[in-house]
Chains A and B, each alone.
Chain A
């Protein structure tokens, strides 16, 4: 999760967790550590009363699990950090940690304070480090990856929504087009609010999980196809002569390869099966959302 100071990163993770822990469309998120569960729920409770969590002074890592209809579907790690680290040099250990985290991230959630979007050149300058960091990361990626641009504090720009949308389009249009031109980065732009009247809280995390699940499914599908080919090739070779030659050469015979391949197929199917329904359900959640 990338964002300048006060973009609302910690508020978001707290509100998201509290919402998801209660369950949405059959999905729930659980923290592995009970201390994290308590902290995030406490933050969310205070936010409902109008008290927002203080700015994060250090990196926080939450090990979370996505559950669907009683099945543990997907484990993921959510990283929050001090916003200032984004604009600190390599002399700062937190900046270095952030750069390592970004390089290894499976998905990126870029948090942009909507109230700062209409500030002319200054707004461009505030958003610039996020764009530069995102482009630097994306230029090195070739695998499937989700990108969420979350426009936070949308409840505070309701009065000037059209103007803010135009500013967002001006500032982020090049990034959106750049991502739209790729085949492997799946982007979405979502206005969110975490206050007393939350808005779209679940979408950023579920988009990441949706694409993450799809990426896992694609990998498993490829494995499945590979093992199917292995089984087919082995089936064509099975027989007395194959067993004799394999025994002589000290290598596995076609019967053994066939059995191994079939076992792998069963395992792959077992892994794919629980992903199918959640993936379809998640897909339907994003129909009204702007994707690129």
Chain B
């Protein structure tokens, strides 16, 4: 992981919202390759552990049990073909961590806050079961409470403030709607009505400075509250790879913006050095300023080198971001609260 820049992803969701199952499905899907991209656990044992739980679902219809015991860290490598692009640091939280208050007996709750503060992207996992019908005034409070959305909002606000205070960019956000099979097709396509509901329920995600993707995903057609076991013929994973594609697209987008700003500063410095050098070379005294000229020329060469490399980074990152965003066509994507979907 040390050889590549790393992306920290944290998924927030109530017990049973489908965080762990989503991780298993996403890994099973992307580790076999999707649209030319691969996700590979750096530890082969972790690869097998994730895959074996997924296989249990495919073979016997056994839904993965919720992670109630431990926080399980995973390190992945995201590859474009055989070329590693980024490390991915993923923590699978034990169910219930979201419900506990800081300072409660469980030590992983303060850890969750720390983790959120360093997360480049945060997934807010919303159980699709809450979105079967349009959200109305009298149902909103209940959904927010049962879905853990109030707590998510508060945690997200704290994380955004903490990152702002330390000079970091706000995390990108995915509103991950799991169990999308429960939502009637008419509400899924187009998503407009559901987007309105999400904007009401998680308004924090649509504030200035935030990039947010709304992404419904499903593992199959399992119906409401499957009792630990499903029919294997009902398994039909859908769009599980898109949230992480968005995380990486946003990372590349931010990288390209940062490289562009740095390149602009570098270009200004180049211009200043050119002006300075031109002054040194002008007039009869130029002969006596040879050592200053040599020194400034050296500085100029270094600045030019820096400018060129920043320009390359900017172009590569922008191209990469464009390709990744292209995969998200049709999904509602917001920047600063405004929809910018393709």
Contact = CB atoms under 8 A, between A and B. Distances in A.
B84 to A, nearest CB: 6
A181 B48 CA distance: 27
Contacts of A121: 58, 235-237
Interface stretch (B7-15, B74-82, B107-115): B74-82
A128 interface: yes
Contacts of B36: 174, 177-178
A88 B49 CA distance: 9
A132 B49 CA distance: 13
A185 B35 contact: no
Contacts of B271: none
A34 interface: no
Interface in A154-201: 171, 173-175, 177-179, 181-182, 185
Interface residues on chain A, size class:
20 to 34
A143 interface: no
A121 B235 CA distance: 8
A139 B48 contact: no
A156 to B, nearest CB: 22
Nearest to A135: B38
A88 to B, nearest CB: 7
Contacts of A231: none
B51 interface: yes
Nearest to B29: A124
Nearest to B47: A132
Given A90-B45, A122-B59, A174 B35 contact: yes
Interface residues of B, number: 32
A131 to B, nearest CB: 5
B211 interface: no
A117 B47 CA distance: 21
Contacts of A179: 81-82
B28 A125 contact: yes
A127 B40 contact: no
A124 B30 CA distance: 11
Contacts of B236: 121
A71 to B, nearest CB: 35
A99 interface: yes
B62 to A, nearest CB: 14
A135 B82 contact: yes
Contacts of B237: 121
B301 to A, nearest CB: 30
Contacts of A135: 33, 38, 40, 79, 82
A132 B82 contact: no
B32 A89 contact: no
A148 interface: no
A136 interface: yes
A175 B232 CA distance: 26
Interface in A68-124: 87-90, 99, 121-122, 124
B33 A182 contact: no
Contacts of A132: 31-32, 38, 40-41, 47, 51
A8 B79 CA distance: 30
A138 interface: yes
A185 B31 contact: no
Contact of B34 (A122, A129, A174, A181): A174
A200 to B, nearest CB: 25
B83 A139 contact: yes
A138 B49 CA distance: 22
B44 interface: yes
A179 B38 CA distance: 12
A208 B237 CA distance: 37
Interface string B1-39: 000000000000000000000000000100111111110
B325 interface: no
Given A122-B59, A185-B82, 13 more contacts: A90-B44, A121-B58, A127-B32, A131-B31, A132-B38, A132-B40, A135-B38, A135-B82, A136-B44, A174-B33, A174-B35, A174-B38, A178-B81
